[in-house]
Structures are given as structure tokens and as C-alpha cells.
Amino acid sequence: MIFRSLITIGLVILFASCGSEEEAASSTETGAKVEMSHGQKLFNDYCLQCHSLVANKVGPSLRGALERWDNDTSRIAAFIKNAKETIDSGDPRAVQVAEEWNNTLMTPMPHLTDEDIAALLEYMAK
């Protein structure tokens, strides 16, 4: 009688745990289907070390960055590609950023295309 009860309990546990594994697998599969946008991937690869979207780190937070550049994508793109060159050109916003951040220069990103920067700006705006 005890043996039969133990087998029954064991089978109940086995079947109950099988259902949980299936649910976990399907939620993992669902999670795997969610992909990063191109802008988020670029942000994670090139910006996250020094920037956050919502808080200052080594550099300023980047949420709303385009608005701080008067929505001028060509000026902010030039700054992203080569901050020092943009500061040296006398761009008022670039000079302001340099002064606010104790003249700490952002690493040049000349490898980013205009499409990459557009994707980054789109991600930062969300």
C-alpha cells in the first residue's frame, strides 16, 4: 500500500514537472524571438560603456540628445563621428558639451555610417 502511494506521488510529481518544463521552454522560445533593433545593438556595442539612456555616467545620458542638438542630425552625427573635430570647429553645442564634461573627449566613431547614426538616434529617442 505504501509502495503504491509512493509510485502515485512520484508519477504526479513527474507529470507536474514535465508541464513546467514545457512552459519554461515555450517562454524561452518566445523570449528568443525578441530581437534587438539595429540602434539598440549599436548602442550596446559602442555607447553603453560610457553612456546610459537615463543617467549620466562617464558621459551624459543620451535620451533626448537629438533635441539638445536642436534636432540637427548632421551636427550630432559629426560630433559622434569625431567629437574633437566638431569642438575644434567651434560648434556651440559641441563646445558646451566639452565644457560641461571637463573637456573629456568622446572616442571617435568614424566607422559608423549615417544609417547607423540614424538608427542610434531613433533608439535613443524611444
Q: Per-residue pLDDT tens for 6-17?
A: 344 443 343 333
**CA dihedral (80, 101, 50, 54) positive or negative:** negative
Check whether 37 has a pLDDT greater than 70.
yes
Stated pTM of the model: 0.71
The mean per-residue pLDDT over the stretch 76-99 comes to 97
pLDDT at 32: 55
CA–CA distances in Å: residue 49 to residues 4, 24, 36, 112: 60, 32, 18, 16
Q: Per-residue pLDDT tens for 108-121?
A: 999 999 999 999 99
pLDDT at 91: 98
CA–CA distances in Å: residue 101 to residues 31, 97, 105: 38, 6, 8
